[in-house]
């Protein structure tokens, strides 16, 4: 089991990025959330079995919005208690 915090930079706000990430998550056994950050980046928290999280992130990289991503950085983090489902944070 792993939990990653991923930050996306580029033209990732105002293009439907969060909704696309949530839609992509439906195809994988992952829990998490995605949110816009004040500095223009998008933050993704994804948790699940290693192969599911990795495949989910690869799906995002191959999505129609991949051209909007200039930089992707990730780091392992602790899974928040009570994390269930996949949500878009306001």
pLDDT per position as a tens digit, 2-60: 999 999 999 999 999 999 999 999 999 999 999 999 999 999 999 999 999 999 999 99
- Which among 11, 33, 36, 41 is annotated as catalytic? 36
Report the predicted TM-score, pTM, of the whole model to 2 decimal places.
Answer: 0.95
Q: How far from chain centre, in Å, is Cα 62?
A: 13
61 an active-site residue?
no
pLDDT per position as a tens digit, 72-81: 999 999 999 9
Average pLDDT rounded to a whole number, residues 56-69 = 94
Distance separating the N- and C-terminal Cα atoms of the chain: 27
**Quick one: which H or E segment has residue 54?**
helix 50-61
pLDDT confidence of 65, banded at 50, 70, 90?
confident
Every domain of the chain and the residues it spans: 2-77
84 an active-site residue?
no
Helix axis angle, 50-61 relative to 17-25, nearest 10°? 140
Task: Decide if 23 contacts 84 (C-beta within 8 A).
Answer: no
Q: What is the pLDDT of residue 47?
A: 98
Q: Does domain 2-77 have CATH number 3.10.100.10?
A: no
**Widest CA span in the chain:** 33
């Amino acid at each position: 089991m792993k939990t990653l915090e991923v930050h996306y930079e580029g033209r990732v706000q105002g293009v439907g990025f969060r909704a696309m990430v949530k839609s992509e998550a439906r195809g994988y056994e992952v829990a998490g959330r995605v949110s816009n950050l004040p500095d223009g980046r998008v933050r993704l928290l994804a948790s699940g079995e290693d192969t599911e999280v990795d495949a989910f992130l690869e799906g995002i990289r191959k999505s129609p919005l991949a051209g909007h991503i200039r930089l992707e950085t990730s780091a392992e983090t602790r899974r928040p208690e009570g994390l269930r489902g996949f949500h878009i944070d306001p």
